[in-house]
Amino acid sequence: MVCLVARTGRHLQRYNRGRRLVVGCIPYRYKINGNNGGTDDELEVLLISSKKSEEMMFPKGGWELDESVEEAACRESLEEAGVLGDVESQLGTWIFKSNSRELYHEGLMFPLQVTQQLDLWAEKSARLREWMTVGKAREVCKQPWMNEALDILVDRLKFKENKDVQPM
93 pLDDT more than 50: yes
Please tell me the distance from the alpha carbon of residue 86 to that of residue 106, in angstroms, as a whole number. Answer: 23
| pLDDT confidence of residue 10 | 65
Higher local confidence (pLDDT), 98 or 157: 157
Are 95 and 108 in contact by the 8 Å Cβ rule? The answer is no
1 pLDDT more than 50: no
Beta strands in 34-148 (DSSP E): 40-49, 56-57, 60-62, 83-87, 92-97, 104-117, 129-133
Instruction: Give the residue from 122, 118, 148 showing the smallest Cα distance to 58.
Output: 148
| pLDDT confidence of residue 4 | 54
What predicted TM-score, i.e. pTM, was given to this entire model? 0.84
Average pLDDT, the chain: 87
Are 111 and 73 in contact by the 8 Å Cβ rule? The answer is no
Give the model confidence (pLDDT) of 145-154 as tens digits.
999 999 999 9
| pLDDT confidence of residue 31 | 85
Lowest-pLDDT range, 130-139, 146-155, 157-166? 157-166
Kindly indicate the confidence band of residue 168, based on its pLDDT and cuts at 50, 70 and 90: low
| pLDDT confidence of residue 37 | 47
116 pLDDT more than 90: yes
Residue spans per domain, the chain? 15-163
Give the model confidence (pLDDT) of 2-59 as tens digits.
555 555 556 788 999 989 999 999 999 998 765 554 445 689 999 999 988 889 999 9
Q: Is the Cα dihedral 117, 46, 97, 89 positive or negative? A: positive
Query: What Cα–Cα distance (Å) separates residue 127 from each residue in 1, 54, 69, 117, 122?
Result: 22, 9, 23, 15, 10
* Side-chain-side CA neighbours of residue 105 (13 Å): 22
Which one of 3.30.360.10, 3.90.79.10, 3.30.1360.120, 3.30.1370.160 gives the CATH number of domain 15-163? 3.90.79.10
| pLDDT confidence of residue 165 | 58
| pLDDT confidence of residue 162 | 72
